[in-house]
A and B are shown apart, each in its own frame.
Chain A
Amino acid sequence: MHRFANPARFLRLSALLLPWTAGATVILLIAGLYLSLFGSPPDYQQGDTVRIMYIHVPAAWMSLFVYTNMAIAAAAGLVWKHPLADLFAKAAAPIGAGFTLICLVTGSLWGAPMWGTWWVWDARLTSVLILFFLYLGYMALVNAFDDPQRGARAGDVLLLVGIVNVPIIKFSVDWWNTLHQPASVVRMGGPTIDSSMLIPLLVMAVGFTTYFITVVILRLRAELAQRKIQTLRFSVAGDGATG
């Protein structure tokens, strides 16, 4: 495991990976947008508003996927002291928050015409809003410490405490009565979405995933450069003192 946590190795591997993930993101999102807007039928009940699903559902999946990855990185940071783990969580947080925001706003835009309301305090909507605040809280907390090491530790603890929210979001629609409907794709007994609508949904979801990988690599490289700046500043100051 430590091999992959080596910053120099990460920089080399990510440089090789980046053009492929960036290219895949462009192709998948163009194909996904075409399928979502032109290449798929309106729903038998919801008409063209079903097209909001192709943004809303992948964004919701990503909000959970990114958070889960950040929590795993937090555990690795606390237990094994991986040098890259904390930087990964810090780099991924704004992307996860962005996906959660997209999920919340598109859900609102979908709920207004179909449900007849922009927002309700049911278990699903409330738990996703809590996830959004967990992302914001993590970002604020990590930056609130002068010592980045201590900020990362505090952030790791928050991420691990917040992980209980992930299964709550996923199963909220099964455990309690909610206005939000139950799962359509990841459920016992297979998807309840016609394949003409499932395909655009999955293409968009894979596109969002490659987007995340691309941007998180960019942000991780920036975090590593920032760390290098700190050591360079330190050594420049040291050179100045001795010379």
Chain B
Amino acid sequence: MTRKKRRLYMLGLALLGLGAATALTLTAFQDNIVFFYSPSQLQTQQVGDRNFRLGGLVEQGSVRKLTDGVTTEFRVTDTAHTIDVRYRGQLPDLFREGQGVVAEGKLTGGVFVAREVLAKHDETYMPPEVSEALKQAGVYKNPAEGKTAANTNAPPAATKKE
């Protein structure tokens, strides 16, 4: 009994120590684990001239294809702050207004020039008919659209949520 108990306590203590060490390490490297910065974080974060990733929602009504056919301009927002993005190249299938996006590149004169644009989807899954029905009933708002309520382009009726 005592030997088993002692082994059990030892194991518990070892796991506790391991967990604490891991938590401390992860907290210390918090900034390196973050995959992207939001526009608000960029207000305080010094990024300088280096490459980084910018994440947020594609603002409603902000996507513009330039006349050259391959360059797209849009605004990335986290509802509090907004950043202009320019990107030359193929966009992922899920790229659309109101959806999440993560772009890699650097800030050049206030505009974020992206080398790569990835789409980030949210955790909601439903059939198209359900989405339509919910929109009609006014119960459901596309969560992405809901978050851009601050966006002046969105009609007031569409900003009502839940």
Tell me the A residues contacting B by CB distance below 8 Å: 41-46, 50, 53, 75, 78-80, 113-117, 120-123, 160-161, 163-164, 168, 175-179, 181-184, 187, 192-194, 196-197
**Contact between chains at B94 and A114 (CB < 8 Å):** yes
B18 interface hit (Cβ, 8 Å): yes
Stretch at the interface among B62-70, B126-134, B152-160: B126-134
Query: Which residues of B have CB within 8 Å of A181?
Result: 100, 120-123
CA distance A120 to B131 in the complex (A): 30
24 contacts between A and B (CB under 8 A): A42-B127, A43-B126, A44-B128, A46-B94, A46-B121, A46-B125, A53-B125, A75-B11, A79-B7, A79-B11, A114-B119, A115-B118, A116-B91, A116-B94, A120-B35, A160-B11, A168-B26, A179-B36, A179-B118, A181-B120, A181-B123, A193-B124, A194-B130, A196-B127
**Contact between chains at A120 and B123 (CB < 8 Å):** no
Query: Which residues of B have CB within 8 Å of A161?
Result: 18
CA distance A41 to B132 in the complex (A): 14
Which B132-152 residues have a C-beta within 8 angstroms of A?
none
**Contact between chains at A44 and B126 (CB < 8 Å):** yes
CB distance from B148 to the nearest CB of A (A): 16
**Contact between chains at A177 and B55 (CB < 8 Å):** yes
**Contact between chains at A177 and B126 (CB < 8 Å):** no
CB distance from A221 to the nearest CB of B (A): 28
**Contact between chains at B117 and A116 (CB < 8 Å):** yes
CB distance from B76 to the nearest CB of A (A): 13
Also in contact, A176 and B18, with CB within 8 A (given A43-B126, A44-B127, A181-B123): no
Query: Which residues of A have CB within 8 Å of B4?
Result: 79-80
Query: Which residues of B have CB within 8 Å of A42?
Result: 127-128
* Number of residues from B at the complex interface, CB < 8 A: 43
CA distance A179 to B125 in the complex (A): 17
CB distance from A170 to the nearest CB of B (A): 14
Also in contact, A194 and B126, with CB within 8 A (given A115-B119, A161-B18, A179-B35): yes
Query: Which residues of A have CB within 8 Å of B117?
Result: 116
CA distance A117 to B94 in the complex (A): 12
**Contact between chains at B125 and A194 (CB < 8 Å):** yes
CB distance from A55 to the nearest CB of B (A): 15
B33 interface hit (Cβ, 8 Å): yes
Query: Which residues of B have CB within 8 Å of A168?
Result: 22, 26
Query: Which residues of A have CB within 8 Å of B94?
Result: 45-46, 114-116
CA distance A181 to B143 in the complex (A): 13
Query: Which residues of B have CB within 8 Å of A41?
Result: 127-129
**Contact between chains at A192 and B125 (CB < 8 Å):** yes
B34 interface hit (Cβ, 8 Å): yes
Query: Which residues of A have CB within 8 Å of B7?
Result: 78-79
Query: Which residues of B have CB within 8 Å of A116?
Result: 90-95, 116-119
CB distance from B61 to the nearest CB of A (A): 18
Also in contact, A115 and B92, with CB within 8 A (given A79-B4, A179-B118): yes
Query: Which residues of A have CB within 8 Å of B77?
Result: none
CB distance from B73 to the nearest CB of A (A): 18
Contact with A along B1-24 (1 / 0, CB 8 A): 000100110010011001100100
